[in-house]
Chain A
Amino acid sequence: MKKTKLMGSKKEAIQGWLLIAPALVFMITFTVFPVFRSIYLSLTKYQLGMAAPEFIGLDNYIKLFSSDLFWKIMGNTIFFALITVVPSMAAGLGLALLVNRKGKHIGFIRTAYFYPVVMPMIAIASVWMFIYMAKNGLFDQLLVSFGFEPMNVLSNKKTVLPAMAVMYVWKEAGYMMIFFLSGIQGISGEVFEAAKIDGATGWQTFKKITMPLLAPTFLFVTTVALTNSFKLVDHVVIMTEGAPNNASTLLLYYIYQQGFTNFNYGMSSALTVLMLGILLIVALPRFISEDKKIHYN
């Protein structure tokens, strides 16, 4: 009896590994291996024309940490994350509260809020580039019609990132909305009924019931929004290529530039490792909660 059971489990193990093998091969080749390869290459000098990487220890990191440009780019990346994550979450929550109703027109309104999510960033950036174009662009025309000076927002180092952020919030708000909507709808109707009976006003219900019960949604949406913001790069390629004077260069764009314009693979890898570190920190809360889920399963 014991023997057959053992043999059965061995057969099951072989079958299991065979079934998982195809997916696993691709995941290891294009997710696990590149992570370790980046770590290794980040410790080497490896540029166009070199036959093989040459080990240099932490030189790439030292070079980065003592470069003003690197810190400027990190500053841009964090600034851009702040001015996209907070407004898109706030907008997403606001929109979710607006569309959390029944009615004939609600379907149309949800569609109007969500459709930018399914549009490619590259298409959105191509169009918004004209909206932001100097003088003739729609935005500058709007400013002039209200009696302001045209701003040419994409060419000004102070306004280029905020202008991109407005575009991004327009694209992302609908995405944030559906998570808040599903969070709100997950709260039991009885809770709201009870609040109503107790005579709570709309604002009190929102502050004392909706918000606290949405805490897990907030945590989750924050990590999603942060990750999305850090991986955003298409619009920089289309709209500015980092101009003016690297005011719109973000970390991922810099990785791309170092790897595919300057062909400096060592440096590009060091930047990749830093990016991975940032992503890990952002994902940590999620990782811990997932871990719990598995244990309770």
Chain B
Amino acid sequence: MHAKKTKSILITLMSIVIALVMLAPLVWLVGTAFTEPSFNMSFIPKTKFTLENIKYVWNAIPFGQYYINTLILVIVTFSVQFITSTMAAYALAILDFKGKTVIFAIIFMQIIIPNDVLITPNFMTLSELGLTNTKIGIMLPFYGSALAIFLLRQHFKSVPKALAEAAKLDGATTWQTIWRVYMPTAKPAYLSFAVISVSYHWNNYLWPLIVTNSPANRTLTVGLAIFAKSKEANMQWANVCAATFIIILPLLIAFFILQRQFMESFVGAGIKE
């Protein structure tokens, strides 16, 4: 019994030490963002607490604009995905018609090809549509989401047919049936997909970088990258840490509050992928 207890304490100790190692970069980032810049970098800040770095980068970079842009992008993308995927998932789960195999093939295709791989042809399409340097241009490739369709389809399939038929007998239209019967049961799937979609688009970088060329449409990630690579950021780790802190804060807070939901969403989405 004694040995077992020692073992358990050792495991706990080890997991805490690893947790501290994992947290170290974040601790350094926050510490550096909120202390006066020093000539020598140190893990534990030796200078005084200050909000000057945050103030400086907030004024040096149009972060307000970037926040608005990113929020618009994240919200509109998810809303459109919500509608298109619900419709498609209903069709695939409930209705019986020819040609489903082709649709499944397209869904699998999107699932195995990460969007970033197709930047060159997709950018051409966007230029031909005259949508470069627009917010809609950043969002368009994501409006049809194979992952969302897949997640929702599975939930819709588990709804007993009798429920839908009862609604139909009561005179409900297809829309009403989807709205009243199918959507409420798929709440966990919607929530999972919301987490995945929002974190993907909050963090996405390469595609928004390629599509945008003015502050009016840039996202937070693109803004941060431009700042981190600029001359004025050279050697100014306090400022870069402050800028990084500004862009990671909302998602990190959301994660610390909803950590269980986040992890479950990532597992669910990954396995169904």
Q: CB within 8 Å of B: which residues of A?
A: 9, 12-13, 15-17, 19-20, 22-35, 37-38, 41, 95, 98-99, 101, 103, 105, 107-124, 126-131, 133, 136-138, 141, 170, 173-175, 178-179, 182, 220, 224, 227, 231, 233-234, 237-238, 252, 255-256, 258-260, 265, 268-269, 272, 275-276, 279-280, 282-283, 286-287, 290, 294
Contact assessment for B140 and A30 in the assembled complex, using a CB-CB cutoff below 8 Å: yes
Q: Does residue B112 face the partner (Cβ distance < 8 Å to A)? A: yes
Contact assessment for A265 and B124 in the assembled complex, using a CB-CB cutoff below 8 Å: yes
Q: Count residues on chain B whose CB falls below 8 Å from chain A CBs.
A: 93
- List residues of chain A with CB within 8 A of the CB of B237: 130, 133
Q: How far apart sit A37 and B117, CA to CA, in the bound complex (Å)? A: 13
- List residues of chain B with CB within 8 A of the CB of A174: 22
Contact assessment for B88 and A20 in the assembled complex, using a CB-CB cutoff below 8 Å: yes
Contact assessment for B251 and A118 in the assembled complex, using a CB-CB cutoff below 8 Å: yes
Min Cβ gap B141→A in Å is 4
The 3 closest A-B pairs by CB, nearest first: A26-B144, A120-B203, A34-B121
- List residues of chain A with CB within 8 A of the CB of B146: 27, 31
Contact assessment for B120 and A115 in the assembled complex, using a CB-CB cutoff below 8 Å: no
Min Cβ gap B10→A in Å is 11
Contact assessment for B141 and A30 in the assembled complex, using a CB-CB cutoff below 8 Å: yes
Contact assessment for A127 and B25 in the assembled complex, using a CB-CB cutoff below 8 Å: yes
Min Cβ gap A9→B in Å is 7
Contact assessment for A113 and B244 in the assembled complex, using a CB-CB cutoff below 8 Å: no
Min Cβ gap B167→A in Å is 16
- List residues of chain B with CB within 8 A of the CB of A129: 228
Interface stretch among B48-56, B59-67, B184-192, B255-263? Answer: B255-263
Contact assessment for B116 and A231 in the assembled complex, using a CB-CB cutoff below 8 Å: yes
Q: How far apart sit A107 and B257, CA to CA, in the bound complex (Å)? A: 11
- List residues of chain B with CB within 8 A of the CB of A290: 108
**Residue in contact with A231 in the complex, picked from B42, B108, B114, CB distance below 8 Å:** B114
- Additional pairs, 11, CB under 8 Å, beyond known A34-B125, A35-B113: A19-B91, A20-B87, A33-B125, A108-B19, A119-B251, A120-B247, A122-B203, A130-B240, A170-B22, A231-B117, A276-B117
> 23 A-B Cβ contacts within 8 A?
A12-B96, A19-B95, A22-B143, A23-B143, A23-B145, A26-B140, A111-B256, A115-B26, A120-B247, A122-B205, A122-B225, A126-B225, A127-B25, A138-B41, A141-B42, A170-B25, A175-B266, A231-B114, A234-B206, A256-B210, A269-B120, A272-B121, A287-B108
- List residues of chain B with CB within 8 A of the CB of A287: 108, 112
- List residues of chain A with CB within 8 A of the CB of B29: 127
- List residues of chain B with CB within 8 A of the CB of A32: 106, 109
Contact assessment for A119 and B252 in the assembled complex, using a CB-CB cutoff below 8 Å: yes
Select the residue from B19, B107, B229 with max chain A CB neighbours within 10 A.
B19
Q: How far apart sit A29 and B26, CA to CA, in the bound complex (Å)? A: 40
Contact assessment for B106 and A31 in the assembled complex, using a CB-CB cutoff below 8 Å: yes
B19-54: CB near A (< 8 Å → 1, else 0) gives: 110110110110000000000111100000000000
Contact assessment for B113 and A279 in the assembled complex, using a CB-CB cutoff below 8 Å: yes
Min Cβ gap B161→A in Å is 14
The A interface is mostly helix, strand or loop, or mixed, namely: helix
Min Cβ gap B176→A in Å is 14
Chain A residue nearest to B241 (CB atoms) is: A127
Q: How far apart sit A234 and B221, CA to CA, in the bound complex (Å)? A: 10
Select the residue from A119, A129, A269, A279 with max chain B CB neighbours within 10 A.
A119
Q: Does residue B216 face the partner (Cβ distance < 8 Å to A)? A: no
With A23-B85, A122-B225, A131-B25 as known contacts, state yes or no: A30 contacts B118, CB within 8 Å: yes
With A111-B259, A118-B252 as known contacts, state yes or no: A26 contacts B141, CB within 8 Å: yes
With A16-B95, A120-B203, A220-B271 as known contacts, state yes or no: A27 contacts B241, CB within 8 Å: no
- List residues of chain A with CB within 8 A of the CB of B266: 117, 175, 178
- List residues of chain A with CB within 8 A of the CB of B123: 259-260
Contact assessment for B103 and A24 in the assembled complex, using a CB-CB cutoff below 8 Å: yes
Q: How far apart sit A256 and B209, CA to CA, in the bound complex (Å)? A: 11
With A12-B95, A238-B228 as known contacts, state yes or no: A38 contacts B120, CB within 8 Å: yes
Q: Does residue B179 face the partner (Cβ distance < 8 Å to A)? A: no
Chain B residue nearest to A235 (CB atoms) is: B205
Q: Does residue B75 face the partner (Cβ distance < 8 Å to A)? A: no
Min Cβ gap B18→A in Å is 7
Contact assessment for A26 and B252 in the assembled complex, using a CB-CB cutoff below 8 Å: no
Q: How far apart sit A108 and B270, CA to CA, in the bound complex (Å)? A: 23
Contact assessment for A123 and B247 in the assembled complex, using a CB-CB cutoff below 8 Å: yes
**Residue in contact with A279 in the complex, picked from B88, B117, B144, B206, CB distance below 8 Å:** B117
- List residues of chain B with CB within 8 A of the CB of A123: 221, 224, 244, 247-248
B123-148: CB near A (< 8 Å → 1, else 0) gives: 11100000000000000111111100
Min Cβ gap B182→A in Å is 12
Interface positions, chain B 86-104, Cβ under 8 Å from A, are: 87-88, 90-92, 95-99, 103-104
**Residue in contact with B118 in the complex, picked from A31, A131, A224, A258, CB distance below 8 Å:** A31
Contact assessment for B91 and A20 in the assembled complex, using a CB-CB cutoff below 8 Å: yes
Contact assessment for A179 and B140 in the assembled complex, using a CB-CB cutoff below 8 Å: no
